[in-house]
Amino acid sequence: MSTMKFYGTDHMVELFSAGGKSIGKWMAYNNIDSGYARKHYGGQLHLTNGTYTFLDTTAPHTHLDDAPSSSFGLYGILRFNYPKHPGVGVHSGRANEKVAPGPLHATHGCIRTTDAAMAAIKAHIATDKLTTIEITGNDKVKAHHGKAKLHKIVYPGEDISNLLHHKYLPV
Amino acid sequence: MRSAAAVLILLLTAAAAPAPPACTGRTAAQADAALDHLTGWAEIRAYARAYPGCDDGEYSERLADRITTLLAAGPAANRALFDLARREAAFLTFVLDHIDSTAASDALEGIARTFGAGCAAADRELCKRIAQTARDALE
């Protein structure tokens, strides 16, 4: 049975196989909208560290309008049991936003990653049931001031001119 | 004595009011299905009444998306909201609470622009609040 780990400091999510082997690691953020956090999470902008059980274990829960720029991205959501907050999970979406695109885009508690991550996770859990997510390093200070260098992996020769002007990505 | 009676009445009223059903099992599935069919303000109001416990995580992100998409069409296309909001302050609060930074920025910009451009005198204050909430969400 596979497991997932979310690193709040590094802004990454990692999937592990039943044998504990890393299947992949992708960019992911847990940025709760500040107004929503004030009303529903006691002002806490990130989920609390801990291990939570997935509700969707072999495939993401999908919606009629799932698409790259929709709320949840192409592949839907993997919901997990976060106490007193139904509907919290891991999903992608808002890929083409002008403000805080993709994983950076705010949620109402969910962890947002990329479509590429969700595609890989979906493919893996179809045969290796997803059980838990461990949220770590997600305290207020660390999650906000984590390792900025990991916001985007830049490959040799890749054009990063658009990223250099993005206010959310320190250079 | 009078205040003790008031407290007792308050306690009895609170005890009589049923707690909203937890968003689990069948309720969660029904709420999820209902979210697929929120085509207008009457449906959104019906959802808010029927599933007060299902307004978190993906449920409220879907509500925010639906509400901001509807509002982005501008004030003229949202007469039904003005009518409902005038009658039910709680519903207006519900709507405003779902205009936030989880929404698409195009929708938020559309709301800020069209509702900020001015409305009929009777709706002007409401339009200002909606436009300002969208502007706040974009910051």
Residue type, B120: A
Residue A139 has a pLDDT of: 80
Nearest by CB to residue B58, choosing from A33, A36, A79, is A79
Mark yes or no for CB contact B56/A91 under 8 Å: no
Distance from CA of A102 to the nearest CA of B (A): 11
Question: Which residues of B fall below an 8 Å CB-CB distance to A?
Answer: 22-24, 28, 32, 35-36, 53-54, 56-62, 64-65, 97, 100-102, 104-106, 136-138
Residue B100 has a pLDDT of: 97
A86 touches chain B (CB under 8 A): yes
Provide the H-helix boundaries in B17-123: 25-35, 41-50, 57-71, 79-87, 89-97, 105-116
Place of tokens 């997803």: A130
Domains of chain A: 2-144 (2.40.440.10)
Residue pLDDT tens, chain A, 171 long: 999 999 999 999 999 999 999 999 999 999 999 999 999 999 999 999 999 999 999 999 999 999 999 999 999 999 999 999 999 999 999 999 988 999 999 999 999 999 999 999 999 999 999 999 999 999 866 666 554 433 444 444 444 444 444 434 432
ipTM of model over 0.95? no
Cα–Cα dist B130/B123, whole Å = 11
Q: What is the pTM of this model?
A: 0.85
Mark the ranges of chain B whose per-residue pLDDT is less than 70.
1-18
Helix and strand numbers (H, E) in chain B are 8, 0
Cα–Cα dist A167/A145, whole Å = 15
Mark yes or no for CB contact A86/B54 under 8 Å: yes
Distance from CA of B93 to the nearest CA of A (A): 12
Closest Cα partner for A95 from A124, A123, A74? A74
